[in-house]
């Protein structure tokens, strides 16, 4: 009976059911209830596509479906040498006593969760100030191998140091940041005594991804071919994230078909110049809406208009997002992708 029932469904809905059946019981129940609510609202209350879009909050002050602590504590005393570590600590209810490049966290990480006042600055991410770190008398230092492996002995001499991997090593051809993030988050949570909270947040993150996947399936957007990119300065052109990236894993879990799979060594992206962008072919592009002028040289070129995704009006814009964080960044990015796809789909 079940086999006949499944065979009568569109393939996109079969894929959604397969995903939500893999969720733990509590997350599964939540998604089933939300899916039923969505269908009932559309049927009984005349819910329109616009209403669905409005119900996906992508504002800066959006309340995320994560059990984020309302108050922060500063025990253990932690020093975060990068922004992803700071995001994860704040998500677990730990206020770092110090952080590198504080203004960068508030601008480039996008300040989610918000960094409170009273956090000391200890240099920049590439060159943290060891005397400033010593002054904070930390119980734990968190960085990443990419920049801090060379300092590991000096850092360990100050306090126990945890380096959480961000980019793939050369031999890790199947590396996915989403998988690494889960391991990183649980490892960090264990070190600060927040394992139960981290596990709960990861379940809630998965439930939100499944909920958004159901919405996209209901709008016939399952399997849409996409890539995610942003314009960068210094002549680098368009940065397109590869299948190793957080963006690609999120897109895949939303039921989208992530296309770009070329990356620079030790990174999860590559840079395309104007004439190379044609390599995207007919793939839709989710593009970060940067400050005025960024990418203008490319987008005003006659060559830009010749690319297939431009001709197809298949560009979707999102606000700046952080591509290397924890559950907070995952939920924000997933909501942003879903919102922009639905918004433009309904406007057509």
d(CA 269, CA 6): 38
CB 149 within 8 A of CB 169: no
Alpha carbon of residue 221 to chain centroid: 20
pLDDT of 291: 67
The single-letter DSSP state of residue 271 is E
Task: Pinpoint the alpha helices (H) of 228-326.
Answer: 246-253, 296-299, 308-311
d(CA 92, CA 114): 13
pLDDT of 319: 92
Q: Could you give the angle at which helices 11-20 and 195-218 cross, rounded to 10 degrees?
A: 170
Question: How many C-beta neighbours within 10 Å does residue 85 have?
Answer: 28
pLDDT of 347: 79
Q: Which CATH number fits domain 225-347: 3.40.50.1980, 3.20.20.20, 1.10.3470.10, 3.40.50.12780?
A: 3.40.50.1980
Nearby residues of 36 by Cβ (< 8 Å), 6 or more positions away: none
pLDDT in tens, the chain (348 residues): 434 434 444 444 444 445 454 555 455 455 545 544 554 544 454 445 555 676 788 988 899 999 999 999 999 999 999 999 999 999 999 999 999 999 999 998 999 999 999 999 999 999 999 999 999 999 999 999 989 999 999 999 999 999 999 888 888 888 999 999 999 999 999 999 999 999 999 999 999 999 999 999 999 999 999 999 999 876 678 999 999 999 999 999 999 999 999 999 888 999 999 889 989 988 999 999 876 667 888 888 898 988 999 999 999 999 999 999 999 999 999 999 999 999 988 877
What are 239's two structure tokens?
Answer: 């940065």
d(CA 19, CA 32): 12
d(CA 348, CA 346): 5
Q: Could you give the angle at which helices 195-218 and 177-191 cross, rounded to 10 degrees?
A: 150
Nearby residues of 94 by Cβ (< 8 Å), 6 or more positions away: 72, 73, 74, 76, 78, 192, 194
SS (H, E, C) 6-40: HHCCCHHHHHHHHHHCCCCHHHHHHHHHHHHHHHH
d(CA 44, CA 36): 12
**Residues composing the chain:** 348
Measured in degrees and rounded to the nearest 5, phi and psi for residue 123 equal 85, -160
pLDDT of 300: 87
> Domain-by-domain residue ranges, the chain?
225-347
Query: How far is residue 289 from each of residues 17, 159, 235, 250, 293, measured CA to CA in Å?
Result: 33, 40, 18, 19, 11
Entry pTM: 0.86
Burial environment of residue 76 by CB neighbours within 10 A (0 to 12, 13 to 18, 19 or more):
middle
Q: End-to-end CA distance of the chain, in Å?
A: 39
CB 248 within 8 A of CB 231: no
Task: Pinpoint the alpha helices (H) of 219-278.
Answer: 246-253
Nearby residues of 332 by Cβ (< 8 Å), 6 or more positions away: 58, 62, 64, 110, 112, 321, 322
Measured in degrees and rounded to the nearest 5, phi and psi for residue 265 equal -55, 130
Please work out, in degrees rounded to the nearest 5, the angle formed at the alpha carbon of residue 271 by the alpha carbons of 268 and 274: 150
């Amino acid at each position: 009976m079940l086999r006949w029932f499944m065979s009568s469904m569109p393939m996109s809905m079969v894929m959604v059911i397969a995903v939500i059946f893999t969720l733990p019981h509590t997350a599964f129940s939540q998604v089933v209830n939300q899916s039923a609510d969505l269908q009932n609202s559309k049927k009984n209350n005349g819910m329109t596509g616009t209403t669905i879009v409005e119900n996906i909050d992508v504002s800066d002050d959006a309340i995320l479906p994560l059990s984020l602590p309302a108050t922060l504590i500063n025990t253990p005393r932690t020093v975060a040498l990068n922004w992803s570590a700071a995001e994860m600590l704040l998500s677990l209810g730990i206020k770092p006593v110090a952080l590198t490049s504080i203004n960068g966290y508030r601008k480039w990480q996008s300040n989610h969760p918000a960094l409170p006042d009273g956090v000391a600055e200890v240099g920049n991410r590439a060159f943290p100030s060891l005397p400033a770190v010593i002054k904070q008398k930390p119980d734990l230092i968190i960085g990443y191998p990419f920049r801090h492996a060379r300092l590991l002995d000096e850092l360990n001499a100050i306090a126990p140091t945890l380096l959480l991997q961000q980019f793939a090593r050369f031999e890790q051809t199947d590396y996915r940041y989403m998988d690494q993030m889960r391991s990183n988050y649980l490892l960090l949570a264990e070190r600060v005594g927040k394992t139960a909270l981290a596990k709960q947040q990861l379940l809630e993150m998965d439930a939100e991804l499944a909920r958004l996947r159901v919405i996209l399936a209901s709008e016939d957007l399952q399997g849409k071919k996409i890539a995610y990119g942003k314009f960068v300065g210094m002549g680098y052109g368009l940065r397109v994230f590869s299948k190793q990236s957080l963006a690609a894993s999120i897109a895949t879990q939303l039921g989208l078909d992530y296309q770009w799979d070329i990356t620079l060594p030790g990174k999860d992206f590559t840079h395309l110049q104007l004439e190379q962008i044609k390599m995207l072919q007919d793939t839709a592009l989710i593009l970060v809406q940067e400050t005025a002028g960024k990418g203008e040289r490319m987008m005003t070129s006659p060559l830009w208009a010749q690319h297939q995704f431009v001709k197809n009006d298949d560009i979707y814009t999102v606000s700046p997002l952080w591509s290397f964080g924890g559950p907070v960044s995952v939920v924000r990015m997933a909501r942003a992708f879903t919102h922009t796809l639905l918004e433009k789909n309904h406007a057509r």
